[in-house]
Structure 1
Amino acid sequence: MPDSGNLKAVDASQRPDSQSQVRVYAMPPGEDASPEEIVQGFLEALTSDDPDFAMARKYLTKEASKGWDPDVQTTVLENGPSTGSGSVGDGGGQTGRSFPLTGRKVATVDKEHAYQLDNAAYNQSVHLSQQDGPNGKEWRIDRVPPGVVLGQSDFQRIYWSVNKYYFATRSTGASGGGQEGLVADPVYIRQRIDPVTESVKALLDGPTTWLEQVVGTRFPTGTHLKAGTKTLAPDDQGKLTVPLNAKADPIGQERCTEMAAQMLFTLQDLTSSGVQEVELQRRNGSQLCVLSKERAESVASRRTPEHPDYQYLIDDKRRLVQMPAARKDDPVPVRGKLGSGGQPLRSAAVSRDEERAAGVSLDGRSLYMGSLVSDGPLGKPEVRSKAKSEEDGLSTPSWDGRGDLWVADRDLKRPRLLWLDQGAGEPVPVKIANLDGRIEAVRVSADGVRIALLVKKDGKTSLQIGRVERTGAKGEQPVISVDGLRRAAPQMEEVTAMSWAGGSRLVVVGRESGGVQQMRYVQCDGSVPAGATLPGLTGVKEIAASEDERQPLVAHSDDGIVRLPTGAQWQTVVKEGSAPVYPG
């Protein structure tokens, strides 16, 4: 500890990267606290782990406390709110002191717990007046901005991204039959304030507004926890009992197990929850159903392969080759024509069942479909591009978990996104609402509900996420469209590569303004988890990740094809090769 030197004030939002282990305890107002001390104490209390913001309310008048709802929204600023110097009154003939709260917004978290990017200026104020207290007159805040405001680093310390799970809406089109998978819907909760109960409540509230058009819940409308239920916790055997209100009383066994599956998958993202089994109860305490973690996957799939057998890439002979996902073996050509070298390839995508692959020709103008389990001929191209330059043409294709194939044609005269029903037949152009730029790359999530696009405009490429919407009459080919585009990785001025890396997470390669290339994880809602930056790697051109987060990242870099096993550094697999992919 230093024993000399000047004292320096430290802003509450300026904490080290290890802040996830730091707990902050709010302090009550001091006697004879000045207006400046009241304002600063209130803002610091907002960054504490106080469950109901009880300490923060001590800085408010009784009337202001009754009217203040901290759950209505959370405003995240770059560096926390600046208070400036206070002024007397507020210009409206009232006495007291008024302090401005200013800053630059990063995002807001709404009442649904949904994270929404927002880079507007923040301009609010707090007003204080003197109240009668036990020791005479004391300053308290009588007007306060809505919700909670804090800095980005405090937000990352306090809040935790959790995936709620809902069923993909059943398609009415020809390829929409069968059991639909679960879709991750990321929300933010306070990680130390009863996360199990908060996650269950958020799940029961239903999907967020952005996702609700393409997903649904099996919980009946109006289902909530039984009145009087304050907290939920698993017992010593990991069983969580959840009492519900009367809305769930008439539910049958099959639907109940689907409800329990939604809850189990949601709670699995809470690594410390220890939930192994869920029992849902009626209002009178009788059992609705019980579902174990082991049985949940058979009730509702998350559309993610638990363990892909292989990783794939294009070797120096322009063949599609494979290597075991779980160990470091030399790549070998895949079975079938795409592995023979007869049709030189520049990129490929392997179906999630690892039985088919779509390969793009070396000139980028033709897409072929080939089997990985037989030696049949390639046949004619499924898609042709009229692009004049080889730098344009077709992007790397992408398979969703429904068995459909997606590819972008980057022809300068007619750029378009194409969809092939079950990877075959006539390619269908996909309408994209509010697309501003040309698609450079496409990756569809395993659930088939969300699509990640690299969009180029004015020489810069950004990452955007959209909803995949399917409409149409039953038995007919569905009408496919992409809506609700929103930008992810906004802190990166240029994004050069990306891949889905979990239910709601992507890994991206890019650079910030004036910065060097970096790799990091981002959430599909645009948020960036703390500690999301990955070990450095020189000249990354392509990146591949599995939705099974235990599988290593694979990249094409200046060092060749490299892998990043968990807890290790990048390791070279082969010196020559390109276009690494996992199934999907």
Structure 2
Amino acid sequence: MAYAACAALLLAGCASMPDSGDLQGVESTPRQDTQVRVFAMPPRDDAPPSEIVQGFLEALTSDDPRYSTARQYLTTKAAQRWQPDSSTTVLADGPGTEVVQSGDRDDGDDFAFKLTGTEVATLDAQQSYAPASGTYRQTVYLTRDKKTRQWRIDALPQGIVMGKSDFQRNFMSVNKYYFASNTTATGTGRPMAVADPVYVRERVDPMTQMVRSLLNGPTSWLEPVVRSSFPTGTALTQDVTALTLDDRNKLTVPLNNKAARIGQGKCDEMAAQLLFTLQSLSPTVDEIELRAGGRHLCTLSDDRATAVADRGAETSPDYLYFIDGGHRLVRMPNSGSGNARAETVPGALGDGSKELRSVAVARDEDTAAGVSLDGKALYVTATTVGTALGQPLLQSKGKTEADRLTTPSWDAQGDLWVADRDPTAPRLLLLEKGGGQPLTVLTPGLDGRINAVRVAADGARIALVVDKDGKQSLLIGRIERDRTGTQTTVSVQELRSATPDLEQVTAMSWAGDSRLVVVGRETGGVEQVQYVQCDGSIPETGTLPGLTEVTSIAASEDSDAPLFATSKDGLLWLPGGSGWRTLKETASVAFYPG
């Protein structure tokens, strides 16, 4: 009877389905991305020491905003002393536990466990990521309460610890934005926005986390070369617990009285910092309203933000450039496809009068710098018809091509960077506005010889491929400029690795405000193309389709510009969601402006 009843219901459902008539479109509700939040279990009564430790470690990976469940595994004093936000240690696997014999007391009310693992990264109190290596060994001490007879953790290391997979599930990389202290965009004079990547907990109100982080100021590594338009001491009002978008995708941000008396221009810059930051987290943010002292300060929409500050990701190049089989400078319109037709670039670098090894086109695309085929000479000329090549601005004395000039690179304010690899006098050089007497850039802490140079669009950071003992590593440095009267001193400070796992980096290019695309291989591995963050972390979309014997990679800070590469097969193009495609054009090097 039950089967018969079910069959009758099914038939009744089928009978209600229309089997004739026209098809009509209906409105549907878009599926919402529901995020499953994970909450830990509190300690159960009479749990043994091992279970207390495991329960505590599991609670660290939950979505509990203030780690209140994790604190239940601690004694009252330990819970008061523990500062989970002071640091995060990421291990290759989850932390292992080893029992440590405790002989502190004769009554058997003390216990200890050693937490072990292999470190891969750390976050500091500013949520700034840094690759790490070595062995992790920390001790957790437990005691049994004399009244309740329950085991609790009495002493533990500050911060939190978790495995790599839990870290990737719990944390996300987001850029917060400040302005370059000593750099303005060529042509517009507007401040340049600089990305400062940090990691926030993905399911613990990341929008409010990012606003608070932005107001607290830049990370220590970036702070010397950026500024914030927010007055010192600016914070959210005390009654703010969470910030949410309204139905028009506008975010209203109430600030304390430190920001109550700012002018319109400064307010627009503050709103631009917030807009760029929150769009890195959620592209749906369209407008920012700032309030302070109970009144409206300013409103900035997405379409007005580009008039307040320049940002690399918002600047789309007009052309992709490459050097063809005749060693001439050639370009294709940046149409978003590989089907555009190539043409020689107007001027002396495209007419074939000087064979070229490498070229860099300025970000305004009106000027280009070319290195001769033998790598000895650097020329700078306009990309217009009838321009002469002139005399070289720089010449290397290196004995071989590998010991001469690298591919040059232009920064946001029109200065030209290039490295001379002459073993007798290796140096990084800067030609202000693409001319004049070359300035030697100081590189304290540099250990090795520079093989490649690429300046970020913001002009505050530089990527260097450095060769030491046959190993080629990608390092990111901070560009500091000191002007005293007519004297200018430029240095690259605090170089840090962006590819700690790669042994050989053969090509690289900036591919976003804080991201690069890199060609390299691990020890004993095969060559791979992947994205990396400038802080050394790997984004979720890290690995790209495989490619072998790559000689150059072309990416733009504008994420809508497609990737190009050159290899033994010629010029290749990577359409979204598919493999590399070989184009008909012959090319030895491909690149976007910059």
TM-score under structure 1 length normalisation: 0.92
Distance 2:46 2:537 in 1: 41
Tell me the equivalent position of 2:561. Answer: 551
Distance 1:367 1:114 in 2: 38
Residue 153 of structure 1 aligns to a residue whose secondary structure is: helix
Distance 2:440 2:35 in 1: 49
| Counterpart amino acid of residue 481 in structure 1 | S
Structure 2 CA distance for partners of 1:22 and 1:406, relative to 1, 3 Å:
farther
Distance 2:376 2:128 in 1: 41
Distance 1:155 1:557 in 2: 36
Over residues 75-100 of structure 1, what are the superposed CA-to-partner deviations in whole Å (9 max), with x where a residue is unaligned?
11121211123433558998411000
Matched, 1:78 2:92: yes
Matched, 1:323 2:332: yes
Distance 1:170 1:539 in 2: 39
Distance 2:125 2:275 in 1: 23
Percentage of pairs with the same residue: 55
Over residues 305-349 of structure 1, what are the superposed CA-to-partner deviations in whole Å (9 max), with x where a residue is unaligned?
632111111101111101122232232211111111110011111
Structure 2 CA distance for partners of 1:269 and 1:90, relative to 1, 3 Å:
farther
Please show how residues 109-188 of structure 1 align to structure 2 within 5 Å: 109-131=123-145, 136-170=148-182, 178-188=189-199
Q: Which of 260, 272, 279 matches 1:249?
A: 260
Please show how residues 196-235 of structure 1 align to structure 2 within 5 Å: 196-235=207-246
8 Å Cα contact 1:305/1:352 also seen in 2: no
Structure 2 CA distance for partners of 1:239 and 1:305, relative to 1, 3 Å:
closer
Structure 2 CA distance for partners of 1:402 and 1:305, relative to 1, 3 Å:
farther
Residue 520 of structure 2 aligns to a residue whose secondary structure is: strand
Distance 1:210 1:579 in 2: 33
Tell me the equivalent position of 2:14. Answer: none
| Counterpart amino acid of residue 410 in structure 1 | R
Please show how residues 30-429 of structure 1 align to structure 2 within 5 Å: 30-89=44-103, 95-131=109-145, 136-170=148-182, 178-271=189-282, 274-283=284-293, 285-304=294-313, 306-326=315-335, 327=337, 328-429=339-440
Distance 2:394 2:533 in 1: 32
Please show how residues 476-515 of structure 1 align to structure 2 within 5 Å: 476=486, 478-515=488-525
Distance 1:361 1:22 in 2: 58
| Counterpart amino acid of residue 162 in structure 1 | V
8 Å Cα contact 1:495/1:508 also seen in 2: yes
Distance 1:304 1:235 in 2: 26
Please list every run of 5 or more consecutive structure 2 residues that lacks an aligned counterpart in the other structure.
1-33
Please show how residues 446-525 of structure 1 align to structure 2 within 5 Å: 446-474=457-485, 476=486, 478-525=488-535
| Counterpart amino acid of residue 72 in structure 1 | S
Over residues 469-508 of structure 1, what are the superposed CA-to-partner deviations in whole Å (9 max), with x where a residue is unaligned?
111135x352211111111110112211111111111111
| Counterpart amino acid of residue 502 in structure 2 | M
Distance 1:247 1:88 in 2: 53
- After TM superposition, give the deviation of residue 566 of structure 1 in Å: 2.0
Please list every run of 5 or more consecutive structure 1 residues that lacks an aligned counterpart in the other structure.
1-19
Distance 1:398 1:36 in 2: 57
Residue 191 of structure 2 aligns to a residue whose secondary structure is: coil
Tell me the equivalent position of 2:4. Answer: none
Range with bigger deviation, 556-565 or 356-365: 556-565
Residue 115 of structure 2 aligns to a residue whose secondary structure is: strand
- After TM superposition, give the deviation of residue 234 of structure 1 in Å: 1.0
Over residues 208-244 of structure 1, what are the superposed CA-to-partner deviations in whole Å (9 max), with x where a residue is unaligned?
1111111010111111111121110110001111111
8 Å Cα contact 1:400/1:446 also seen in 2: yes
8 Å Cα contact 1:171/1:470 also seen in 2: no
| Counterpart amino acid of residue 202 in structure 1 | S
8 Å Cα contact 1:249/1:282 also seen in 2: yes
Distance 1:348 1:262 in 2: 34
Q: Which of 444, 449, 460 matches 1:438?
A: 449
Distance 1:538 1:581 in 2: 18
Structure 2 CA distance for partners of 1:35 and 1:570, relative to 1, 3 Å:
same
8 Å Cα contact 2:417/2:429 also seen in 1: yes
- After TM superposition, give the deviation of residue 533 of structure 1 in Å: 1.0
Tell me the equivalent position of 2:574. Answer: 564
8 Å Cα contact 1:494/1:512 also seen in 2: yes
Distance 1:481 1:570 in 2: 38
Residue 375 of structure 2 aligns to a residue whose secondary structure is: coil
Range with bigger deviation, 329-338 or 433-442: 329-338
Structure 2 CA distance for partners of 1:211 and 1:90, relative to 1, 3 Å:
farther
Distance 1:461 1:309 in 2: 32
Range with bigger deviation, 530-539 or 201-210: 530-539
Distance 2:319 2:458 in 1: 20
- After TM superposition, give the deviation of residue 118 of structure 1 in Å: 2.2
- After TM superposition, give the deviation of residue 359 of structure 1 in Å: 0.9
Distance 1:132 1:26 in 2: 26
Structure 2 CA distance for partners of 1:235 and 1:336, relative to 1, 3 Å:
same
Tell me the equivalent position of 1:536. Answer: 546
- After TM superposition, give the deviation of residue 568 of structure 1 in Å: 2.4
- After TM superposition, give the deviation of residue 120 of structure 1 in Å: 3.1
Q: Considering only CA atoms, is the larger Rg found in Structure 1 or Structure 2? A: 2
TM-score under structure 2 length normalisation: 0.90
Pairwise CA RMSD of aligned residues?
2.0
- After TM superposition, give the deviation of residue 278 of structure 1 in Å: 0.9
